[in-house]
Structure 1
């Protein structure tokens, strides 16, 4: 005689409930797209069309004659790209821009993380004061900040030279910070890092609120040092946010233009050229509009990999949420 299994069958969601949930998700997705549509239209109008025109122009040979007469520029195929890709000056600027990006992003993220960790340890009033001060720096226009740094490092009446002369001697009087490219890039990098720290520090400080205090307390009880707790607990939890803010910093710093353009009085020397300033100089300084457009397209392509990585990280965070 066989035993009869009297256990109830596992409960399963009724088909009607599943259909309702699926329909609700579809409606939510449709609503999200409808709400995003105005923004997408504006982005296409403001960014898509200029990008399209820039790509078309890079395959032409736009000169002053076509600019003033309105005639269609002759097609040049890939000549502008071949000119850029075989130019040693161009590749030198690519390397300089990449090196600046690596150094400035590393310093910015490290300093931002350090300040964020400090903000979690100070009194609430001190934390609020720090956030207000950093928001002021973040809200300051790049051109205004660049002019302030230009005044600080001026060779004739700069405050920095005055302070250095009091500490290290009179040889710092009338010192020009941009004669030596290493010193000049140190000034530019300091400006960019100083302006980028507020966003990083405030963002990472908000992320630190998601780190459970219980884990940190348990690690302390187990004898873990502050560095071990940071490496094994805090950083893994902050990794998604840290990846996002680092990627954004790479995108912003790779497109450096305003800071070195203003610090060099709108005429950056060859050693201070970046991809953004070089493209602008070629297009509007030498009237090589198509060549400048080709350089801009190459810059966009170089940044495309970083942008794709950023978007993938955003989708991963969305899936986790």
Structure 2
């Protein structure tokens, strides 16, 4: 039998010139795969959101009315539309009403949604399924359809609310209109908006609650922590990030609400005293035919949304760092 010399079986030792320098940074390859996966979504965003926003911004600097709709060339007027909008007291009144309605709806939605999610963790399988189906039915109903249904509930002559109040208080509520007075109008609107938004918050929060370790909660209970203390000190830190996302999304959605307000106005509300920013843009653009001013209001609303989104992104990045 022939033996292989030790020198022949030993691996070759690389020369110092061929050894990699540990102090020299490695060149990172370009992430082509993530870019390829993101390309379809980016194209969709550019086509369906980016380009309309560019067109809207251009229109906001033009005199664009009914004549331009039928082919007349638009006239560039600079920031005149923005000046007219920002110096109009009606715009600030509408914006104030929109912000007030948004605050009430968002607070009610977040509190009730989180409460329902916590309740679902305590229910049995059958009752949890029943609550989930009820939430899904409310969530699946279109906003305009829900507004019509709630309009029947608050109907002047045949509404369930007026009938119940008549039975409970002993006074005659039949014939009382809830939509003529702006305060009661926005109360009904807040109920409809909150009712339609609760399922999303409840399902998202419930999904986050299922990720909280049971061992930590049991240990806290053994140490004597009550239910509220466990939620505040243990559960809430797990939910902070998802609640922040839900809060920002609800603010954006409720600030630009349209179908519920327009539907209630069509049923019997006073339009001039109950306009919100979404309906106001529609009335200025379509009813008045001033698309340039409507574009300016829309750009201002987009700027407000960007500020809110920027605050959320900054907060998220700060938490991750």
TM-score grouping bracket, smaller chain normalisation: 0.7 to 0.9
Pairwise CA distance, 1:74: 0.9
Q: Flag the structure with higher helix content.
A: 1
Is the contact between residue 97 and residue 254 of structure 1 (CA under 8 Å) also seen in structure 2?
yes
CA distance in 2 between partners of 1:169 and 1:282 (Å): 45
2:230 corresponds to: 229
1:306 corresponds to: 308
CA distance in 2 between partners of 1:196 and 1:59 (Å): 35
Residues 143-187 of structure 1 show CA distances to partners (whole Å, capped at 9, x for unaligned) of 111111111111122122122211123421011001221111110
Matched length = 301
TM-score (structure 1 length as normaliser): 0.87
SS in 2 for 1:154: coil
How do 1:25-174 residues align onto structure 2 when only pairs under 5 Å count? Answer: 26=29, 29-68=31-70, 70-174=71-175
Is the contact between residue 260 and residue 268 of structure 1 (CA under 8 Å) also seen in structure 2?
no
CA distance in 1 between partners of 2:27 and 2:140 (Å): 44
> Gaps spanning 5+ residues in structure 2: where?
1-18
TM-score (structure 2 length as normaliser): 0.87
How do 1:166-205 residues align onto structure 2 when only pairs under 5 Å count? Answer: 166-205=167-206
CA distance in 2 between partners of 1:178 and 1:230 (Å): 39
Larger Rg: 2
CA distance in 2 between partners of 1:268 and 1:35 (Å): 49
CA distance in 2 between partners of 1:116 and 1:258 (Å): 27
CA distance in 2 between partners of 1:171 and 1:31 (Å): 69
Is the contact between residue 179 and residue 264 of structure 2 (CA under 8 Å) also seen in structure 1?
no
Is the contact between residue 156 and residue 178 of structure 2 (CA under 8 Å) also seen in structure 1?
yes
Moved more, 200-209 or 224-233: 224-233
Cα RMSD after superposing both structures: 2.4
Is the contact between residue 81 and residue 293 of structure 2 (CA under 8 Å) also seen in structure 1?
yes
